[in-house]
Amino acid sequence: MPFLCRDCDAIVQGPACTRCGSVRIVRHPELLTLAIAHIDCDAFFAAVEKRDRPELRDKPLIIGGGVRGVVSTCCYIARLSGVRSAMPMFKARQLCPQAVVLPPEMGKYAVVSREIRTMFEVLTPLVQPLSIDEAALDLSGTQTLHGAAPAIVLSRLARRIEAELGITISIGLARNRMLAKLAAERGKPRGFTVLGAEAADVLAQEKIGLLPGIGPAQVKKLEALGIITISQLAALDAGMAARLGNEASALIARARLQDDRPIRPERESKSISAETTFETDIAGREALEAALWPLCEKLGRRLHREGQAAAGIVLKLKTTDFLLRTRSQRLPAPTQLAESLFEAAQPVLAREADGTRFRLIGLGAAPLAEAALADHGDLADTLAPRRRARQEAIDRLRARFGEAAVQRGRALRPVKGKG
């Protein structure tokens, strides 16, 4: 069985490296043959902040904000107190009152994410970003190029990211994407976990909620049928499977650890959105519109950055008792402009401003269209090219002098929110 030293890449025979003395050893019978990897940055936002602020290294750190916001991420020290991503901030502060809390700086994290992705693409063209801090890689056929098996190449990559960017990653290596993701999650932080032929036995008694794509509602439905573990779901007979309806075959295939999805270099975005949670509940139409405008600007920037345009908008509102309202509207023509997004969303919002108090507002672009189709104007909208030129001029000024250099009048109405 091959033993790989993660600190010097030596292939060794025991639990410690005879070359460098390291005990960071990964071993598996298929270590040198598997080629599908899932890479996840460890506590990414918090890791970047700790890198930039060494005084925070040994302190619990939460990235989030506001009394009513949620935790974007937290370091592993904070996790020892029970803090978790997506947890309400008030609860996180109760669990870890000594934590340092910082607002997220998405621009900074995006820069680091792009640097990491560039490192991935040196190894293989088959890189599929899954989020700002994780990706799937297919290193099949790259052994001749790199002069080493994928496992060794990935070990080198982890050390390079840590040395050059000051953050750590966890690696999962397997025969397919789903198993690679499950493997990456088992070894965090700084993990390197391999799942091969033994995967079914290793995962047999794990709860079904561990499987990607099986949410709380499905877990509850399956548990009501007495299906608790992955092995129970994998062993379903035709009669029991019929009780699960159309989703049965996909669920059973997942439990049997089958996954034939290829790794696609470019993931197709189905929607792009922005949202904010208010510090205090808002009911009035004017106040809601004041909160809507910065979302339109943020959404417009994201569309432009990702080379997409909005062919429709989706308005999202969450009431004080956490009931969600979503309203959609197709657009007469694709757009990237905040002004056009606002004009489309404003009447949709007006219909919902019925006195209900809301704690959150969001705006999404869906469906998406190619950026080349955006804001050309037609007989029904002859001013679109002029609006686009105006926005481009604003963008140039902001790039030179900062975001606050040019503001529209409606942006000056303050709204207390955290998004």
Catalytic site positions = 134
Tokens linked to 336: 């990237």
CA distance 165 to 48: 9
Q: What is the 3-state composition of the chain as percent helix, strand, coil, each rounded to the nearest 5?
A: 40, 25, 35
CA distance 293 to 383: 20
Collapsed DSSP state (helix, strand, coil) of residue 158: helix
Q: What's the CA dihedral at 178, 113, 158, 80 to 10 degrees?
A: -80
Collapsed DSSP state (helix, strand, coil) of residue 230: helix
CA distance 101 to 64: 7
Which residues fall within 8 angstroms of residue 137, CB to CB, at 6 or more apart?
Answer: 36, 37, 38, 39, 120, 123, 124, 126, 127, 128, 263
CA distance 130 to 165: 20
Whether the CB-CB separation of 68 and 359 falls below 8 Å is answered with yes
- From the number of C-beta atoms within 10 Å of its C-beta (0-12, 13-18, 19+), residue 112 rates as buried
Of 41, 77, 42, nearest to 62 (Cα)?
Answer: 77
Collapsed DSSP state (helix, strand, coil) of residue 315: strand
Q: Give a three-class secondary structure readout of 168-223.
A: CEEEEEECCHHHHHHHHHHCCCCCEEECCCCHHHHHCCCEHHHCCCCCHHHHHHHH
